[in-house]
């Protein structure tokens, strides 16, 4: 019975994110949650007892975002892993647990992803104008989440 509840919770989380992603297409002011998912990914990858279920959930959410927007699958996952391994661990360790670092990472993830998409699609990304708003909204959401965990 415990395993059944565990799987239904994961299915409910996945469907919830999928529905949110579809709602985001109807209401352009809603962010796609890429920055929040990256902050969550960083938090999980910093823990010694990495919870692989949550990592898989994050990757599922990233694939949903890409599939809904008809973008190449796996670009966000690759971006998360490379950005975390190269930028976060090597260049920005001074912002490890600093709120300014979280804001910088969320903004950088959006900026890099939009540049990659504009390069792959060979056109400008129309969502680039939402970059600052999405970053600020998700940063505030992430700080609320962090404060609720303490």
**pLDDT single digits (tens) 88-112:** 776 656 655 677 778 888 898 888 8
Q: pLDDT per residue over 39-71, tens digit each? A: 888 888 877 766 677 888 899 889 988 888 888
What are the b/e assignments for 108-120, b being 16+ CB within 10 Å?
Answer: bbbeebbebbeee
Q: What is the pTM of this model?
A: 0.75
Residue 76: what pLDDT? Answer: 92
Rounded-to-integer distance, Cα 24 and Cα 86, Å:
30
Which pLDDT value is given to residue 122? 67
State pLDDT tens for residues 105-137: 889 888 888 888 888 876 665 666 778 888 889
Q: At 86, list the tokens.
A: 């190269």
Domains of the chain, by residue range, sit at 1-149
Q: What percent of the chain has pLDDT over 90?
A: 8
């Amino acid at each position: 019975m415990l395993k059944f509840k565990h799987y239904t919770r994961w299915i409910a989380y996945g469907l919830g994110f999928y529905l949110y992603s579809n709602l985001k297409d109807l209401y352009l002011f809603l962010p796609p949650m890429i920055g929040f998912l990256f902050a969550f990914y960083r938090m999980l990858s910093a823990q010694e007892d990495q919870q692989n279920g949550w990592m898989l959930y994050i990757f599922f959410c990233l694939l949903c975002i890409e599939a809904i927007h008809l973008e190449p699958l796996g670009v966000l996952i690759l971006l998360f892993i490379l950005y975390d391994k190269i930028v976060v661990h090597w260049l920005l360790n001074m912002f490890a647990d600093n709120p300014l670092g979280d804001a910088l990472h969320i903004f950088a993830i959006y900026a890099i992803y939009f540049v990659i998409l504009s390069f792959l699609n060979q056109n400008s990304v129309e969502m680039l104008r939402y970059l600052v708003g999405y970053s600020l909204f998700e940063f505030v959401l992430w700080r609320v989440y962090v404060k609720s965990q303490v």
